[in-house]
Structures are given as structure tokens and as C-alpha cells.
Structure 1
Amino acid sequence: MKENQASRTAQSMAIFRALESARPPKERLFADEFAAMFLSPSMRLAARIAKKSGAARNRLIAWIDRRWPGGRASAVARTCLIDRTLRQALMAEIRQVVILGAGYDSRAYRIEGIEDARVFEVDRRETQAMKRRVLMQRLCPFPPHVVFVETDFMKQTLAEVLASSGFDRDRKAFFIWEGVSNYLDERAVDATLRFVGSNAPGSQIVFTYTHRGLLDGSGAFSVSPNVLRHLQRAGEPWTFGFYPTEVASYLHARGLELKQDLGAIEYGALCMGASKDEMKGYEFYHVAIAEVRKREETSCRR
């Protein structure tokens, strides 16, 4: 990502959420009333038209799906899955939520019951500055349960920035790490997951990752060249991925137990009843859910 520039890929995610939220209440998978607020004027106009006209919305969605096959459907389905997992954590009375690389994520303001938790939004200064300016247009006073934590995953440790923001590592926490790991390097990913694994047993993390086979060429995927060109133009190329067969052992070495690992075809079918063809183009994308193991099980951890 370029210096002093808010994330362009975060805005892409926002338009996908805005279009899903524009559907009638009985048809949409979630309602994100904040998503359209983060869009450029032209994209905001498109989202407004999509909300007023079902036909216009369907045409726009069809155009996006042709240009970036699987991207929108994957984003919508993974948003639904992470929302569901977060609600389950809140029902289990986890009262600390950490959103890593929060971008324009609005879960702290739209998930029912999250106001009873302490939410730590962790991201780069540029992205957070824009987000706060936008949110203050609607949220005044600003919700007291949200703490903004500025960081750069490549330069600072989570332990440092969260400790100074009031995070309690002795209490269970729920971590969301959506759409971030694929932009980092091996050192940053390792440090982040080791930190999560060092928290209170029973803490959970839901995170997304890219199949490494897409990055090293060893996998056969139907990804559109438009996706990779868009990332290059945005200055946000993918740099890291996992082989799915190695995720469980990788997490185990860092104090975490893998509970679930779903590829795009699987979470698309689970969350929106999508067919394999609807998710084609993003088969390489995964959502994983893991839990911090008991201390006695992690005493020999490297």
C-alpha cells in the first residue's frame, strides 16, 4: 500500500457489502448501513441507485461478477460467516474483540450485543483517520466501547500496541483477521499468530488466507487476471499464503487449535447456498477458525 493512502481494496470490500445490504431485508445476508459511507462519490451513487432499483442492482452485480469472477460472492459469504462466528463468541460471553487490519469493517457498530464488549480496531494510521472522519458523520457521540489502535504490522508488535490501549491478555478475546495475512510477510504472520496463541485459553481467532499455490504457481486456479491487475494498481499485491494441509500444524506450533478451515466453495455454499460455479475464480481463498489451547498443552511450544 502506498504511504498516506487509505486502502483501495478496503473500498472494494465496502462496495460489495453495500450492494448486499441494498437487497430487501428478507433476501440479504447482512445489513451494513455504514459500507456505502466509505465509497468514492461515484461508487456511493451506484450503491444508492442499487438500493432504489433491484434491476439496477442486479445489473451492477452481474457486471462485477463478470469482471472479477468470484470476488464479490466470496466477500459476501465470508462476511456472513465471520459475523456468525462473532455472534457465537459474544453469546459465549467473550467480552474483548480485536479486529486486526480493521479497514472499513463496521462490526463494532452493527452487530447486536457487541456494545457490551470492548472492541479494539487495529490498523494503519491513514486508513483509521479516514474511517473516523466518516463514522463521526453518523455516530456522535462516538461509541465508548470502541478503541482505535494505530499500528503497522510490519514494524510493531501487537503486544506493544494493545497493552498500551487497555487490552487484557488474561481475559478471553475474539480476534478477527480478515483480508490481511495475504499482504504481509512470513515474519509478520508468524508474530501475529504467536501473539494470539499466547492469550487466555479459550480465546478465538477467525482469519482469512490465500492458498500459497496461487502465489508460487503450484496450484491450478481459475483466478481472473483482472483481480491481480487490480491489486498491483492499488499497490497492494498479495505476498503470503498457506498450503491448507499445513495450517493445522502451523497453528498448533503457535498455541492454537484449528477448529475449521473452509475454502470459498465451502463457505459460499454454507452461508449463501452458492453453487461451485458462483464461487469459481476465488477457490484459492480460505476462512479458518482456531482457538487458543490450554496452557499445559502449550508449555513446550517453540
Structure 2
Amino acid sequence: MLVFRTVNQDLKRPNANEDVIARCFRDKLMPIRAVTTKVLPKSVQRFQKFVEHPTRGTPGVCNFVDARTTWFDKGVKQAIADGIKQVVIIAAGYDTRSYRKDLHPPGVKYFEIDLPEASLRKQKLVRQVLHDYKEYPRPEYLAADLSKTALEDVLVKSSFDTAQPAILLCEGLLYYLDTASSSNLLKDASSMAALGSHIMFDFLHQNAWDGSEKLPGYAQTAKAVANKGEPFRSAMKQSLDCMRESLSIAGWELSILLTPRDMLAANLPHLTWREDVPPILGFYSFAIASKPMINPTEAL
């Protein structure tokens, strides 16, 4: 994912995401690619053409990761501007937001949750690459397997303040969980989140997953992730009414729902939508759900 996240940056494409640390992580983990990119700059374009081949690849995957990164960044910035001081990154992987000063100003606390072995690998990488603690802030690392431990049980053992609102990020996660686990995670997040909290996530379209509609690029994507040992395990019905209902059951109120076309217009406005070959993957949507503050007069 680090490679996909940096393709448009390397190619100096318009509206590329601002995750400059992703390149640092990528180059440390993949030194040969780092050298190749510098010595043979056209190799990046060849890589993109390979992974986005019309029949053997997935057209739009690099733009998808690029736009998704920017969208989550914007959501965090807006939450912080609105006064939220806690950011929880669930299944953090190589997410870099905790270490970016533009997203981690003084007074804001980040919590990265990941499997114990993944968390240790991440911490080692951070120590190797991001030496200056003042220049690159740090999160509180929480090692846990959320398939065995409830989110609330993980956070109560940390410095997380359940009385204060937070923004929770589930980027590229829910569709790798089975339906019950995905639903339970949303419910667990709601049960421990204070009023004024938000959760951001992307999700796979039900009609692509169940095969009721053939969407460009889905079959190749599903095969690729399955070959990596991480098959798609769940999806959601993407209509506004269905999302409102499912999130309400989980204890959230839908605030924002973006279709792939919406995502393209908001974050890669220089590109034009095409139904036959979408510029970004057309089988994911994006949502922000909230626990609204109660107006005292409404409670009477």
C-alpha cells in the first residue's frame, strides 16, 4: 500500500496526497525500489501501467489510494479544527498520520491499534526512519487483536479519555473482516465513544461482493487480495437509506456518504468520471458517522 500511496507523488500528478512520510517508510522497507525510482524515474510509470493494465490489472487503484489518503487526512484536520483532541487509528499498519505535524499539532493525542507483531514492526521502523521526536510526533501504541478483544477493553487500558470526543479511523479495514466482526467493531466503537465523536471508514459495495453486478476492476481486485491471503469477507449496501439504517443499529448517525464519483470530484477534480473505466475503483464508498452532541432543549 505504501507503493500505491506514493505513485502519484512520484509522478508529480495534480492533487497528489501530502503523505511525505509514506515515501520514507517505503524506501526503508524496499531499498531496491527506492534506488530504482531515483535512477530510473520512468519505472514508476511502468509500474502503474502494469498494476492498472485494463485486463490483467486494476485500473484506478493508484488514484483510489491517493484520493482515500487525502480524504482521511481532510477528515482528521477538520475534526481537530472542531476541537477534537483524540485520534484512534484502528489496524494502523503503515499509516503515517500520527507522525505528521500538520495532522498532529500540540495537544492532540493519537492512538495506534494493531496486532502485537505488526505494532512492534511499526515501532522499529519508526525508530529507524523518524529520529527527531520534535519533528515527528509519536502516538500511543496499543497492541491487540480486535478479533479477540473488544475495542473498549483496549482503550480503557491506555490514556484514552472516554469522556472526551474522538475521531476513529478504519481505513481499508472493514471488508477484510467478516460481517459479524465488522458490525461488532462499529458497535464497540460507538459504545465507548463520547458524544461529539466521529468514525471514518471506507467500505466495499454489496453488489460487487455478492456478484449481483459486474463492476469494472472488481474481479481482479478480489483475486489479488485473496492471493495475498486477505480475501474480502464482507460488504455493505451502499444506498443512503441502507447506510443510515445499518449505522443507526450500530449506534451511529450517518453524517457523510460519498460515492466513488463523489470521491473523485472532491479529491481528484482534474479527472473525469467514466463508467466503463472509472479513474478510481468504483466499488468502494466512504462514510463518516457521528454521535451528535445533544442540544439541552431537545432533551426536554
Q: Is the 2:7–2:62 contact (alpha carbons within 8 Å) kept by the matching residues of 1?
A: no
> Which protein is richer in helix relative to its size?
1
Across the aligned residues of Structure 1 and Structure 2, the Cα RMSD in angstroms comes to: 2.6
Name the amino acid aligned to 1:95: K
| Displacement of 1:231 | 1.1
Q: Is the 2:253–2:290 contact (alpha carbons within 8 Å) kept by the matching residues of 1?
A: yes
Question: What do residues 230-276 of structure 1 show as CA deviations (whole Å, max 9, x unaligned)?
Answer: 21221100001100121111112222111111122320222012322
Match of 1:206 among 169, 185, 200: 200
Name the amino acid aligned to 2:284: Y
Q: Is the 1:15–1:43 contact (alpha carbons within 8 Å) kept by the matching residues of 2?
A: no
- The equivalent of 1:146 in structure 2 is 139
C-alpha distance in structure 1 between counterparts of 2:295 and 2:83, whole Å: 23
In the alignment, does 2:71 pair up with 1:74?
A: no
In the alignment, does 2:186 pair up with 1:193?
A: yes
Question: What do residues 72-96 of structure 1 show as CA deviations (whole Å, max 9, x unaligned)?
Answer: 1111111111111111111112100
- The equivalent of 2:278 in structure 1 is 279
In the alignment, does 2:238 pair up with 1:244?
A: yes
Aligned-pair identity in percent equals 27
Distance 1:52 1:85, change over 3 A: farther
Name the amino acid aligned to 2:231: P
Matches within 5 A, 1:23-102: 23-24=11-12, 27-39=14-26, 43-50=30-37, 55-66=42-53, 67-102=57-92
Name the amino acid aligned to 2:255: K
- The equivalent of 1:20 in structure 2 is 8
Question: What do residues 140-199 of structure 1 show as CA deviations (whole Å, max 9, x unaligned)?
Answer: 365665111112221110000111011111101011100000011222222221222231
- Normalising by structure 1, report the TM-score: 0.84
In the alignment, does 2:258 pair up with 1:267?
A: no
SS for the counterpart of 1:208 is strand
Distance 1:19 1:144, change over 3 A: closer
Instruction: Name stretches of at least 5 consecutive residues in structure 2 with no aligned partner.
Output: none
Distance 1:62 1:44, change over 3 A: farther
Name the amino acid aligned to 1:152: D
Question: What do residues 18-70 of structure 1 show as CA deviations (whole Å, max 9, x unaligned)?
Answer: 2233244x845223233234448895433554456654433332222222222
C-alpha distance in structure 2 between counterparts of 1:118 and 1:209, whole Å: 26
- The equivalent of 1:165 in structure 2 is 158
In the alignment, does 2:290 pair up with 1:291?
A: yes
- Normalising by structure 2, report the TM-score: 0.85
C-alpha distance in structure 1 between counterparts of 2:116 and 2:234, whole Å: 22
- The equivalent of 1:123 in structure 2 is 114
Q: Is the 1:18–1:47 contact (alpha carbons within 8 Å) kept by the matching residues of 2?
A: no
Instruction: Name stretches of at least 5 consecutive residues in structure 1 with no aligned partner.
Output: 1-12, 298-302
Q: Is the 1:202–1:293 contact (alpha carbons within 8 Å) kept by the matching residues of 2?
A: yes
Q: Is the 2:99–2:138 contact (alpha carbons within 8 Å) kept by the matching residues of 1?
A: no
Name the amino acid aligned to 1:118: K
SS for the counterpart of 1:243 is coil
In the alignment, does 2:123 pair up with 1:132?
A: yes
